[in-house]
């Protein structure tokens, strides 16, 4: 796995954070609007860490953020291992965007 690139991608961290927080909120039948302080957020996250069932659900969800389903096995492709930063998306039609309103 190309961990150096993954940790630079903000969407990876959003997925991981969402996995932890949303699992805990769902299990506790809470709505995000009830998290009115950082102390409450921390309490919910600690609740996940002490509950084996919730911890398993979070690990399972984080695995989906880490695993690349376009490759066989659990490794990144050879091409992905060469990246230094997350790869920018390219249009499906093969054209390139110039950024000047084309």
Q: pLDDT tens digits for 17-61?
A: 888 888 888 887 888 888 889 998 888 888 888 889 988 988 888
Q: How far apart are the first and last CA of the chain?
A: 36
Look at residue 101 in the predicted model and tell me its pLDDT.
Answer: 44
Structure tokens at 80: 């992905």
Give the domain ranges of the chain: 3-67
Question: Tokens at residue 29, please?
Answer: 């039948």
Spatial neighbors of 38 by CB under 8 A, at least 6 apart, are none
In angstroms, the CA 54 to CA 64 distance is 16
R_g of the chain, CA atoms, integer Å: 18
Res 99: pLDDT: 43
């Amino acid at each position: 796995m190309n961990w150096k690139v993954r940790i630079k991608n903000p969407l990876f961290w959003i997925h991981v954070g969402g996995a932890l927080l949303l699992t805990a909120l769902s299990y506790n039948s809470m709505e995000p609007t009830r998290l009115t302080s950082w102390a409450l957020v921390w309490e919910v996250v600690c609740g996940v860490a002490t509950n084996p069932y919730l911890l398993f659900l979070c690990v399972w969800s984080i695995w989906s953020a880490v695993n690349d389903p376009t490759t066989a096995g659990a490794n990144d492709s050879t091409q992905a291992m060469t990246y230094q930063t997350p790869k920018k998306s390219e249009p499906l039609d093969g054209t390139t965007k110039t950024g000047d309103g084309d």
